[in-house]
A and B are shown apart, each in its own frame.
Chain A
Amino acid sequence: AQKVTQAQTEISVVEKEDVTLDCVYETRDTTYYLFWYKQPPSGELVFLIRRNSFDEQNEISGRYSWNFQKSTSSFNFTITASQVVDSAVYFCALRPASGGSYIPTFGRGTSLIVHP
């Protein structure tokens, strides 16, 4: 069985602060994909990143960065110099890469509020 835990229910920061959203996962699969999605107030989830389980390189995209550590089963997401437009609910998700039905499992989400 797969499980994704986002322990932080809500985070509140002031603009320009750095913020890290935690994601811890459990899986018995040897190969899998990890994802982050952003859900702004409009409701539609937007894909941010996909990481393969065999690729532990960290990734940076502008103000966003992701730290994947297989040893601790974590896939944390950091926003540097946060902005009000970053306010949203962020979901971490896990999906097997082979076998089974390829159904993704989502965490409960972390609501990020960035104050001006």
Chain B
Amino acid sequence: DGGITQSPKYLFRKEGQNVTLSCEQNLNHDAMYWYRQDPGQGLRLIYYSQIVNDFQKGDIAEGYSVSREKKESFPLTVTSAQKNPTAFYLCASSSPGQQFGKLFFGSGTQLSVL
């Protein structure tokens, strides 16, 4: 079945540590997105990529980094510069085809600080 796979489901970060959240899709979508969800804050865009080897900052990119070396993969690194990383992270993808505009989401990664 096609879809988006995020791993791990739960992740713990120690002080000063960088951690990487995985996002893989087999939908053949060009665009991929990372959102951060905090209680009562809705979804806030961290980074997005509309094509391989290209990505753009979203509204809250500080303290995060991404790469898009393959169409299927869009990993997110939470760096030590992100002082408040505890949140639920969602990866999504979309296609400009018939379902233009519709986002497909992964099941999320809950990141907590030890």
Contact indicator per residue, chain A 98-116, by CB within 8 Å of chain B (1) or not (0): 0001111011110000000
Cβ contact within 8 Å between A50 and B56: no
Cβ contact within 8 Å between B42 and A107: yes
- Give A47 to B94 CA distance when docked, in angstroms: 12
Which residues on A sit within 8 Å (CB–CB) of B45?
Answer: 103
In whole Å, how far is B70's beta carbon from the nearest beta carbon of chain A?
Answer: 21
29 contacts between A and B (CB under 8 A): A6-B42, A9-B40, A33-B100, A33-B101, A35-B101, A37-B103, A43-B88, A43-B108, A43-B110, A44-B107, A45-B92, A45-B103, A45-B105, A46-B105, A47-B102, A47-B104, A91-B43, A95-B101, A101-B48, A101-B50, A101-B56, A102-B101, A103-B45, A103-B58, A104-B101, A104-B103, A106-B43, A108-B42, A109-B42
Whether, in the assembled complex, A71 has its beta carbon less than 8 Å from a beta carbon of chain B, the answer is no
- Give A21 to B35 CA distance when docked, in angstroms: 23
In whole Å, how far is A30's beta carbon from the nearest beta carbon of chain B?
Answer: 16
Whether, in the assembled complex, B41 has its beta carbon less than 8 Å from a beta carbon of chain A, the answer is yes
Whether, in the assembled complex, A42 has its beta carbon less than 8 Å from a beta carbon of chain B, the answer is yes
Q: Which of B90, B100, B101 contacts A45 (CB 8 A)?
A: B90
Give the dominant DSSP class at A's interface.
loop
Which residue of chain A lies nearest to B42 when distances are taken between CB atoms in the complex?
A108
Cβ contact within 8 Å between B101 and A108: no
- Considering only residues 1-60 of chain A, those with a C-beta below 8 Å from chain B are 6, 9, 33, 35, 37, 42-47, 50
- The total number of A-B Cβ pairs within 8 Å is 55
Q: Report which B residues bind A (CB closer than 8 A).
A: 31, 33, 35, 40-43, 45, 48, 50, 56, 58, 88, 90, 92, 94, 100-108, 110
Which residues on A sit within 8 Å (CB–CB) of B106?
Answer: 44
Which residues on B sit within 8 Å (CB–CB) of A46?
Answer: 105
Which residues on A sit within 8 Å (CB–CB) of B41?
Answer: 108
Cβ contact within 8 Å between B101 and A103: no
Which residues on A sit within 8 Å (CB–CB) of B33?
Answer: 103
Cβ contact within 8 Å between B105 and A44: yes
In whole Å, how far is B76's beta carbon from the nearest beta carbon of chain A?
Answer: 16
